[in-house]
């Protein structure tokens, strides 16, 4: 019998057996005087269990109740019903039968109570942990699966989030062409900003396509500088496979890909290579194999003549273009200003049917006064805005970057987004760190998020707020990120490059192989005046640097793909450097050399390391007097902090904030970190193997914020946190293994906010000292934990308990 059918049958039978026993006891309890006390107790037990049993019947398929345990209880309930009926027939004076049947009734009551108190709770815990195991499995896939997506509902390639128009016919035509037997490789082409990726994502959500290819739709962002090794390794990682031999070259990658494709057969396979650039037209053919029911769909701005089958996506017609523009500009009844229809048509004609341009131009005019509309029209010649090249497209998009003087920082922030590689998520916290120093925004990120919201409203970027609900603890942005269309990224870089190299305030350098820019090699000491310097290299770069003098650089962004990376020597002379961001976008964790250069930087306040071996940082740990914040994302920590050249607290004497996120090998927090007495914020999130905190954490007497969310193996909080008298925010949400709060938690006299949603095993009554938390204002939890707070609210009159809203999405998973 299939498991789901068996579960349903057991659930129904269990409920029926319970109902018979319940009805029998209720009928007999008032008539059998000899057994009245026992039967009343049994009736009370059964009455309390009615809601639970009804829930078991409804959810039996999901609970997967073990047949042996359930059947044993069902048999006892059947025998119990017969026993209770016999009790009705026994005369009140017959004490022999009373002695015989009373223990049996007592045992029945205990058995039912035991099953529901112990077995059923264990099953619920098991199912919760199984759910966690599934989420962790997805998590591990997505940790490594940075450039590959799969169209499986919310966890993969989701459909377009905004209004889409004019794509019904193209999707039908594209699908018809793709499904033809003779079509093995299909090119979808159109200029940038026409909606190629949007169309493909809609295709991934098409019922017929999903029915044919099921889980074998693989979506790959190729981008301008494709890395075949990374693409293939990520495909293997997604399917929980490893290649037979370690991938050393592009040839190795292509040679081993058939192993994966044959493994996921016989179901048809659709590989989507999105955004293949001119010069990379040979790439799709490398992925071609003689495998039945295997198809490749390519999107590109270039109509490569070498491809036999091509679909040309046309710009929107006038009607659809008008609809999209009106939506983007919010032209509806109640708007403060609606321009004349002819003016609207004039602007729409100038956008040439390009969805991206319509959305961006419309967003820039949204809720603007009449003068802004008139000014925009005056700047454009009547009806002569049509463009065919990306250069003309960028020139037209520049019109959307007109900000009033008091919002000049918004334009600067937009241009800063060009500092990061294409098709990669930009962590919101990275931007918060940059902008706090460049533009003196608040360190909590309130103003930075407001700027990102405005850029999103203008369709210049997309801010994704992950795992948020109305009751979320404020100022937590570790899981939020920004994405940007390639054209808009190019616009940001285009705007930043209007001045000569030496005079730019923002210098963005992209290096392919060892081909350094000509201007860099022409002078032995290239002087730049940039405040923000971004250098991106690929996996072929050999770390051979020329010299740069950057005395004004305050933010340095280093993006790379190699297993070994050397910090440039010129970093040691950037004496005004305040923020260092080191991001590895390769497959493997990277070893970094030359960290000792940082000792000479007197103003360095913030460091962010992504996918780095922390041992390489600690082996050359030097005194960083000014460092206030360090963030580790997806790093390999190992025993790094135990092997430092000097004590962590001596090297980082003024550190105030530590963020450790998705460091999957972290099992214990190093004791030495607890000697950093100035620390105010400690955030350890999504570190699923972390099982304990050191008791020495109580030495962090200046700690104000402690976040331990989604540390699923963490079983308890050390009682020493009682000494954290300045702690105002404690976040243990989704810590599934925590079963109790510390006995002396009430001594945390300044605690104001406690987030404990998703703590599924926290079911016992709280310690008595919790009533001493007189400053506690806000508790965030789920419904089951909220009930535990009901009696406590009588003593803490200012306490608000918010039940968190369920937000079922996987945006928070790293790409």
- DSSP secondary structure string, 773-787? -TT--EEEE-HHHHH
Which is nearest to 70 in space by CA: 156, 148, 163, 7?
Answer: 7
Which band of pLDDT confidence, cut at 50, 70 and 90, is reported for residue 25? low
Please determine, for residue 631, whether its predicted confidence score (pLDDT) is greater than 90.
yes
Q: Would the CA dihedral through 603, 608, 609, 614 be positive or negative?
A: positive
- Minimum mean pLDDT among 13-17, 272-276, 790-794: which range? 13-17
Work out the average pLDDT over 121-140: 51
- Minimum mean pLDDT among 491-495, 624-628, 677-681, 771-775: which range? 491-495
- pLDDT of amino acid 518: 84
Q: What distance in Å separates the CA atoms of residue 574 and residue 548, rounded to the nearest whole number? A: 9
Which band of pLDDT confidence, cut at 50, 70 and 90, is reported for residue 270? very high
Work out the average pLDDT over 444-450: 90
Asked if residue 745 lies in contact with residue 698, where contact means CB atoms within 8 angstroms, the answer is: no
Which band of pLDDT confidence, cut at 50, 70 and 90, is reported for residue 164? confident
Is the omega angle on the peptide bond into residue 266 within 30 degrees of 0, that is, cis? yes
Work out the average pLDDT over 596-620: 90
Please determine, for residue 9, whether its predicted confidence score (pLDDT) is greater than 50.
no
Which band of pLDDT confidence, cut at 50, 70 and 90, is reported for residue 203? very high
Work out the average pLDDT over 456-484: 75
- Minimum mean pLDDT among 7-21, 418-432, 767-781, 782-796: which range? 7-21
Please determine, for residue 811, whether its predicted confidence score (pLDDT) is greater than 70.
no
- pLDDT of amino acid 123: 56
Please determine, for residue 620, whether its predicted confidence score (pLDDT) is greater than 80.
no
Please determine, for residue 98, whether its predicted confidence score (pLDDT) is greater than 70.
no
Work out the average pLDDT over 438-443: 91
- pLDDT of amino acid 64: 47
360-407 confidence digits (pLDDT tens): 888 888 888 888 888 777 765 433 343 444 565 666 667 667 777 777
- Minimum mean pLDDT among 45-54, 252-261, 559-568: which range? 45-54
Q: What distance in Å separates the CA atoms of residue 186 and residue 307, rounded to the nearest whole number? A: 7
Work out the average pLDDT over 490-503: 87
Residue 485 or 33, more confident: 485
- pLDDT of amino acid 392: 59
Which band of pLDDT confidence, cut at 50, 70 and 90, is reported for residue 74? low
Please determine, for residue 448, whether its predicted confidence score (pLDDT) is greater than 70.
yes
Residue 63 or 492, more confident: 492
Q: What sections of 90-119 are H helices per DSSP? A: 95-114
Q: Write the DSSP symbol of residue 657.
A: E
- pLDDT of amino acid 268: 92
Q: What distance in Å separates the CA atoms of residue 193 and residue 204, rounded to the nearest whole number? A: 19
Q: What distance in Å separates the CA atoms of residue 288 and residue 599, rounded to the nearest whole number? A: 51
Work out the average pLDDT over 17-45: 64
Which band of pLDDT confidence, cut at 50, 70 and 90, is reported for residue 490? confident
Asked if residue 779 lies in contact with residue 799, where contact means CB atoms within 8 angstroms, the answer is: yes
- pLDDT of amino acid 177: 95
Residues counted in the chain: 815
Q: What distance in Å separates the CA atoms of residue 397 and residue 388, rounded to the nearest whole number? A: 13
Asked if residue 313 lies in contact with residue 189, where contact means CB atoms within 8 angstroms, the answer is: yes
User: Chain-wide mean pLDDT for the chain?
Assistant: 80
* Tokens linked to 607: 């460091």
Q: What distance in Å separates the CA atoms of residue 270 and residue 186, rounded to the nearest whole number? A: 11
Which band of pLDDT confidence, cut at 50, 70 and 90, is reported for residue 49? low
Please determine, for residue 11, whether its predicted confidence score (pLDDT) is greater than 80.
no
Q: What distance in Å separates the CA atoms of residue 751 and residue 736, rounded to the nearest whole number? A: 22
- The secondary element (H helix, E strand) that includes residue 123 is helix 120-144
- pLDDT of amino acid 382: 39
Among 257-261, 301-305, 598-602, name the most confident range: 598-602
Q: What distance in Å separates the CA atoms of residue 812 and residue 467, rounded to the nearest whole number? A: 6
- pLDDT of amino acid 139: 47
Q: What distance in Å separates the CA atoms of residue 776 and residue 39, rounded to the nearest whole number? A: 45
* Tokens linked to 162: 């905004």
414 HSE (CA, 13 A, CB side): 29
219-246 confidence digits (pLDDT tens): 888 877 888 888 888 888 777 777 877 7
Helix (H, G, I), strand (E, B) or coil at 434: helix
* Tokens linked to 338: 């609606």
């Amino acid at each position: 019998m299939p498991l789901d059918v068996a579960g349903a049958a057991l659930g129904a039978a269990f409920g029926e057996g319970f109902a018979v026993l319940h009805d029998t006891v209720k009928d007999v309890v008032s008539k059998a005087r000899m057994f009245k006390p026992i039967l009343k107790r049994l009736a009370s037990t059964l009455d309390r269990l009615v809601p639970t049993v009804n829930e078991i019947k409804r959810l039996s398929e999901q609970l997967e109740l073990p047949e042996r345990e359930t059947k044993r209880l069902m048999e006892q309930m059947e025998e119990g019903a017969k026993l209770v009926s016999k009790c009705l027939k026994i005369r009140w004076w017959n004490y022999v039968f009373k002695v015989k049947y009373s223990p049996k009734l007592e045992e029945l009551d205990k058995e039912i109570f035991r099953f529901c108190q112990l077995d059923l709770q264990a099953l619920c815990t098991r199912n919760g942990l199984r759910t966690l195991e599934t989420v962790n499995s997805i998590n591990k896939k997505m940790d490594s699966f940075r450039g590959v997506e799969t169209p499986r509902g919310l966890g993969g390639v989701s459909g377009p989030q905004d209004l889409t128009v004019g794509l019904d016919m193209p999707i039908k035509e594209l699908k018809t062409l793709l499904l033809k037997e003779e079509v093995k490789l299909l090119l979808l082409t159109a200029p940038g900003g026409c909606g190629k990726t949007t169309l493909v994502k809609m295709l991934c959500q098409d019922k017929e396509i999903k029915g044919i290819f099921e889980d074998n739709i693989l979506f790959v962002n190729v981008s301008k500088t494709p890395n075949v090794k990374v693409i293939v390794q990520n495909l293997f990682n997604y399917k929980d496979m490893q290649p037979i031999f370690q991938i050393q070259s592009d040839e190795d990658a292509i040679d081993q890909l058939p192993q994966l494709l044959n493994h996921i057969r016989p179901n048809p396979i659709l590989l989507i290579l999105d955004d293949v650039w001119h010069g990379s037209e040979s790439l799709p053919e490398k992925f071609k194999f003689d495998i039945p029911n295997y198809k490749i769909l390519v999107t590109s701005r270039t109509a490569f003549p070498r491809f036999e089958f091509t679909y040309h996506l046309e710009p929107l017609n006038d009607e659809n273009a008008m609809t999209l523009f009106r939506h983007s500009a919010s032209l509806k009844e109640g708007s403060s200003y609606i321009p004349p229809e002819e003016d609207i048509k004039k602007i729409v004609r100038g956008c040439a049917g390009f969805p991206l341009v319509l959305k961006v131009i419309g967003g820039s005019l949204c809720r603007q006064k009449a003068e802004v509309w008139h000014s925009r029209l005056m700047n454009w010649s009547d009806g002569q805005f049509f463009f065919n090249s990306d250069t003309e497209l960028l020139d037209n998009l520049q019109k959307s970057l007109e900000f009033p003087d008091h919002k000049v920082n918004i334009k600067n922030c937009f241009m800063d987004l060009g500092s990061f590689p294409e098709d990669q998520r930009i962590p919101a916290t990275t931007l918060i760190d940059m902008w706090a120093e460049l533009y003196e925004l608040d360190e909590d990120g309130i103003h930075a998020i407001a700027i990102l919201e405005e850029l999103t409203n203008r369709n210049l970027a997309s801010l994704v707020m992950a795992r948020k609900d109305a009751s979320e603890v404020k100022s937590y942005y570790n899981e939020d990120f920004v994405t940007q269309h390639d054209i808009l990224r190019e616009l940001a870089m285009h705007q930043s490059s209007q001045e000569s190299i030496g005079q730019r305030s923002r210098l963005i350098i992209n290096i392919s192989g060892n081909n350094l820019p000509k201007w860099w090699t022409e002078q032995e000491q290239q002087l730049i005046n940039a405040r923000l310097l971004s250098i991106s290299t690929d996996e072929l770069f050999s770390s051979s640097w020329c010299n740069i003098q950057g005395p004004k650089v305050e933010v340095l962004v280093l993006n790379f793909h190699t297993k070994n990376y050397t910090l440039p020597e010129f970093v040691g002379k950037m004496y005004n450097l305040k923020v260092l961001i080191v991001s590895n976008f390769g497959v493997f964790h990277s070893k970094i050399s030359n960290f000792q250069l940082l000792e000479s930087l007197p103003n360095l306040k913030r460091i962010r390391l992504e996918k780095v071996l922390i041992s390489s940082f600690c082996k050359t740990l030097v005194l960083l007097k000014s460092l206030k914040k360090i963030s580790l994302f997806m790093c390999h920590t190992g025993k790094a902090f135990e092997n430092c050249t000097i004590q962590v607290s001596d090297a980082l004497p003024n550190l105030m904030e530590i963020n450790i996120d998705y460091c999957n090998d972290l099992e214990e927090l190093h004791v030495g970190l607890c000697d950093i007495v100035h620390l105010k914020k400690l955030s350890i999130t999504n570190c699923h193997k972390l099982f304990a905190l050191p008791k020495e954490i109580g030495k962090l007497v200046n700690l104000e914020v402690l976040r331990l969310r989604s540390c699923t193996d963490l079983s308890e909080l050390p009682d020493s946190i009682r000494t954290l008298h300045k702690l105002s925010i404690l976040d243990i949400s989704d810590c599934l293994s925590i079963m109790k709060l510390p006995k002396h938690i009430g001594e945390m006299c300044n605690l104001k906010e406690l987030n404990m949603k998703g703590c599924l095993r926290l079911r016992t009554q709280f310690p008595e000292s919790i009533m001493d938390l007189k400053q506690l204002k806000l508790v965030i939890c789920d419904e089951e934990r909220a009930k535990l707070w009901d009696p406590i609210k009588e003593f803490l009159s200012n306490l608000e308990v918010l039940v968190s809203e369920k937000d079922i999405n996987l945006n928070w998973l790293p790409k």
